[in-house]
Structure 1
Amino acid sequence: MALNPGKLVKSEAETAEHAELIQALNLIPHVEGGYFAETDRAVDTMPNPYAEAGSTDTTRNLSTLIYYLLTRYTPAGHFHRNKSRTTHLLHRGRAVYVLIYPDGRVETFVAGADVAKGEKLQWIVDGGIYKASFLPPGSDECLISEVVVPGFDFADHDFMASRDHLVALAGEEEAAKWDWLLRKD
């Protein structure tokens, strides 16, 4: 994936402030939900730690960096996972994050500036953990940066396949709470 090609998003549904932010940061719609722009891809590479025998996909960039934005118009990022570790850094706003670990454990927390109430300014999601995010009531945005090491590649990314997959991983009770965060298409 190359740096953001510069496509502007012009949506009547976005507030003027968000439309200005989207344009200023050169954001485009993300397949997970929200908007993003890749702002850095390390030139240096390393052997692909995820390459299967005989694969021609032999290298990964050392790191990548993106902006990621949720707004009232696109208020959720759907369940997905990456193979690489991702460090998240909050710039402004609030969002609820839902993590589902390979052992089925579910963790939720708020990314926000009120650290005295347990909100997080930065957090790490290791590879293989499904994550989703959404704006809680009263929040109209969440802007973060994500640093991925080794660098992000769509070959290392997948969406949670179905509600059945969610049930098998986390159980019916958790699936009933979170199935609305599955990608529908």
Structure 2
Amino acid sequence: MTGKLTYIDALALKPHPEGGWYRQTAHSDEQFFDNTSQDARYHYTSIYFLLDSTNPSHFHQLNHDELWFYHDGAAITIHCIAPDGNYSHVTVGPDVLNDERLQFTVPRGTLFAAEVTTPNAFCLVSCVVAPGFDFRDFTMPAKADLLREYPGLDEVVGRLAD
């Protein structure tokens, strides 16, 4: 198995504001006016995204759907809080015979975070956002705000909010 540092170097990944490391790998050739964002957006964008057991992706929210595709390493757990407040989680990884998925879509407007729960492990995924990702469509609520809004989720919010 290729190691975390090898991927970070070979794929020229850099730190992501929500946690982990990333690099944009593709976007559509054309842009269009997106009514949700009220601005021009690519039809899609794609990144490599690497997390490890000490660097989770903190709770954040996007205006658009985000598709996750497993590539290598340990499984990753994606924690979701739907707009109606319902919590769920899914595991993205290679063990499809034990309820892991090779891909997963986080619906727009969902608060979500991701973590590698296997000690001393990493996970490499690709994430595709459609319409394309733009930091102006990204929010990362403060931990105190999330704890106040979702009191039944203290453990997961406390661990994965920044």
Q: TM-score, normalised by structure 2?
A: 0.91
Q: Deviations over 1:45-74 (max 9, x none)?
A: 11122245xxxxx311111000000124x4
For residue 80 of structure 1, report the CA deviation from its aligned partner.
0.4
**2:135 counterpart (154, 159, 165):** 154
Pairing partner for 2:114 from 133, 154, 158: 133
Match of 1:26 in 2: 12
Aligned position for 1:119? 100
Shift of 1:98: 0.5
* Pair 1:106–1:82, CA change in 2 (3 A): same
Question: Could you tell me how far apart the structure 2 residues matched to 1:150 and 1:46 are?
Answer: 9
Match of 1:174 in 2: 153
Runs of 4+ in 1 over 4 A off after TM superposition: none
Change (3 A) 1:139 1:114: farther
Aligned Cα root-mean-square deviation (Å): 1.7
Between Structure 1 and Structure 2, the one with more strand by share is: 2
Q: Within 1, Cα distance between the matches of 2:155 and 2:136?
A: 29
Q: Write the letter of the residue equivalent to 1:113.
A: P
Residue 3 of structure 2 aligns to a residue in which SS? helix
**CA–CA separation in structure 1 for the residues paired with 2:71 and 2:43:** 23
Structure 2 residues not aligned, in runs of 5+: none
1:164–1:92 CA distance, 2 compared to 1 (3 A):
same
Residue 160 of structure 1 and its aligned partner are, at CA, apart by: 1.9
- Asked whether 1:37 is paired with 2:23, we answer yes
Give the C-alpha shift of residue 137 in structure 1.
2.7
For 2:46 and 2:63, how far apart are their aligned partners in 1?
16
- The alpha carbon displacement at 1:18 in A equals 2.0
Residue identity in the other structure for 1:123: F
The match for 1:48 among 34, 43, 55 is 34
- Contact preservation (8 Å) 1:135, 1:141: yes
Structure 2 CA distance for partners of 1:78 and 1:51, relative to 1, 3 Å: closer
Bigger Rg over Cα = 1
Percent identity, aligned pairs only, is 31
| Greater relative contact order, per chain length (Cα 8 Å cut-off, separation 6+) | 2
Normalised by the length of structure 1, the TM-score is 0.80
After superposition, the C-alpha distances for 1:116-161 in whole angstroms (9 at most, x for unaligned) are 1111110001110011011113460111001110000000000023
Once residues 130 and 80 of structure 2 are traced to their aligned partners in structure 1, the CA distance between those partners, rounded to angstroms, is: 19
